[in-house]
Structure 1
């Protein structure tokens, strides 16, 4: 039996569930090895798992899936398959409307979230998953270097983003992992400053934040540069962020909590007097989703473990002046953190 399915069945037994229904695309892919574009459902029931897909997805799913595949034409067929199920495990992302339909049309009485068991599996990456993330990071590294070359006075942020996204696809990416951030000048103080029509000016800080999606797995990297020579303030905040990022990467190891790791970088920035300008978490897990477990923040007591892939991305953002962020995707090994994104960090 598929080991991942086995863990779900164990969860069902412990929680007196008759079945588990999985609909979230990354989870469907994680368990089956295929990702139906038009959607699909994995039903775990009677000590087995089956992938149900619309008819137009059937041939591809049958070819790719590690699970048996069945097709359905309309939701009523799925409701019939659930006949007799009284207690159903579902993901927390399932809509209220779908739950109401399951109550009414499949006569299901009880629901329980299964997020914890899936989280526990997905939070540790297998060797094969790490290899795919490494490839996604390699593509992202190339894209960052291309962005640095493209950034010149007078060019629009959106033009730079278009070039690097094209390059990522030419190097094997399915698509960008998220909307590419090229944020220059005052916009570099916006942590999510997605590329705009603003023209890059001499003296601008420019935050470059991008990632590649490669065979379902993501990467994430941020570098910050100055167009021309940095002024004293720009250099100061850059050096503080670089120190915080390097220290956090050097300190990351299994056994510490996500909160403790966040505090290492946060305390360095606060000691220099810029604590109020670091206004997001230190990082997040990366894998089938660009943001997944753990959340490397002051609110996450998750104990870091070997095999986790996370980002480490401290920043300082000063309104009207600009911002600096430096980010790497790293793998936690028994010996500490291994940087999977390798572009030079000392860019100023």
Structure 2
């Protein structure tokens, strides 16, 4: 079905074929993602996955399309040239040097982006994809529970992150979905405060943002706690974010637009007087990539549909004081939103 949809696009654009080299898209269309990559060629009548010789056996076992191997670049380009790819569909991430090589050694004369059709396919998750994301979220919940137990005065941020990543791998994750964020004290005001050597101090806000990669699919969640007893200002910020996050999840229903979710979240935070301190979008799609479509932002008109998976992650960041973010991975269903990350949100 996935390749058939791509073939329909090829036919509509009168292309000779499409070339896929990105790891996530290789897996999406072929079921295989060799470490050193490969070249998936889809034509109006056929599909062929060409891989380096040392990746051949694994690709042959996992790929849903026929696989051939190459030993040298010369052999690869000869195989591609034999397919007569004069008008070629490509991914937007294809490098300029690759385009030049395809012109010079394969004879491609014209390129067309296939990003639109790939995005339209990948934005709606199929049942097996949803199951993988659910499993990744379960692992993330286990890691978060370990982190909540680990956070205490004197612990280094990096030590908390290490414990989380250990729990992820021991429970089936391939690796963390991204560099684990553990940001304490004033560093909690940094939205991307990757875990460092700072020791957590009593009274610190601690933002923990993590996710697991499981069978090629990602999860993403954030919780914020205080190492000790929160003061009144910390409580005020926390409950502003919590109310906004709950509102955003509630809004994430079929028929709503991504920008409507963002707007609802932003309105709550503004009512608390912190509108200027919410400095990023409300969320993003999650799947084979940790950030994919839709963008849950003020500019995204995408209509939410069943099968989409997004994050809802408002935050308030006060430089020199600290920050709060609360995030869940959310599945859009016909009945409404379902939080796939389930760790308690009311932690203060």
- With normalisation by structure 2, the TM-score equals 0.98
Partner SS, residue 82 of structure 1: helix
Q: 1:66-81 to 2 correspondence within 5 Å?
A: 66-81=64-79
**CA–CA separation in structure 2 for the residues paired with 1:342 and 1:85:** 48
**CA–CA separation in structure 1 for the residues paired with 2:142 and 2:108:** 51
Which residue in the other structure is 1:10 paired with? 8
C-alpha displacement at 1:78, in angstroms?
A: 2.8
> Where do 5+ consecutive residues of structure 1 fail to align?
none
Which residue in the other structure is 2:95 paired with? 95
**CA–CA separation in structure 2 for the residues paired with 1:7 and 1:332:** 23
**CA–CA separation in structure 2 for the residues paired with 1:239 and 1:325:** 11
**CA–CA separation in structure 1 for the residues paired with 2:73 and 2:256:** 46
C-alpha displacement at 1:48, in angstroms?
A: 1.1
Q: 1:221-300 to 2 correspondence within 5 Å?
A: 221-300=221-300
**CA–CA separation in structure 2 for the residues paired with 1:81 and 1:259:** 45
> Where do 5+ consecutive residues of structure 2 fail to align?
none
**CA–CA separation in structure 2 for the residues paired with 1:253 and 1:196:** 37
Q: 1:21-32 to 2 correspondence within 5 Å?
A: 21-32=19-30
Which residue in the other structure is 2:189 paired with? 189
Which residue in the other structure is 1:168 paired with? 168
Q: 1:132-171 to 2 correspondence within 5 Å?
A: 132-171=132-171
Contact 2:254 2:333 survives alignment (8 Å) = yes
- With normalisation by structure 1, the TM-score equals 0.98
**CA–CA separation in structure 2 for the residues paired with 1:54 and 1:153:** 51
C-alpha displacement at 1:46, in angstroms?
A: 4.2
Which residue in the other structure is 1:177 paired with? 177
Contact 2:11 2:44 survives alignment (8 Å) = no
Partner SS, residue 268 of structure 1: helix
Give every structure 1 segment of 4 or more consecutive aligned residues whose post-TM-superposition deviation is greater than 3 Å: none
Which residue in the other structure is 1:219 paired with? 219
C-alpha displacement at 1:250, in angstroms?
A: 1.2
Q: Deviation per CA, 1:97-117: give whole Å up to 9, x if none.
A: 000111111121100000011
Q: Deviation per CA, 1:129-180: give whole Å up to 9, x if none.
A: 1111001000000111100100110110001101110111001101000000
**CA–CA separation in structure 2 for the residues paired with 1:324 and 1:169:** 27
Which residue in the other structure is 1:35 paired with? 33
**CA–CA separation in structure 2 for the residues paired with 1:119 and 1:91:** 11
Aligned CA RMSD, in angstroms, stands at 0.8
**CA–CA separation in structure 2 for the residues paired with 1:301 and 1:192:** 26
**CA–CA separation in structure 1 for the residues paired with 2:136 and 2:268:** 30
Which residue in the other structure is 1:59 paired with? 57
C-alpha displacement at 1:86, in angstroms?
A: 1.1
**CA–CA separation in structure 1 for the residues paired with 2:38 and 2:114:** 17
Contact 2:158 2:197 survives alignment (8 Å) = yes
**CA–CA separation in structure 2 for the residues paired with 1:46 and 1:330:** 36
- Which shows bigger deviation, 169-178 or 69-78? 69-78
C-alpha displacement at 1:72, in angstroms?
A: 1.0
Partner SS, residue 3 of structure 2: helix
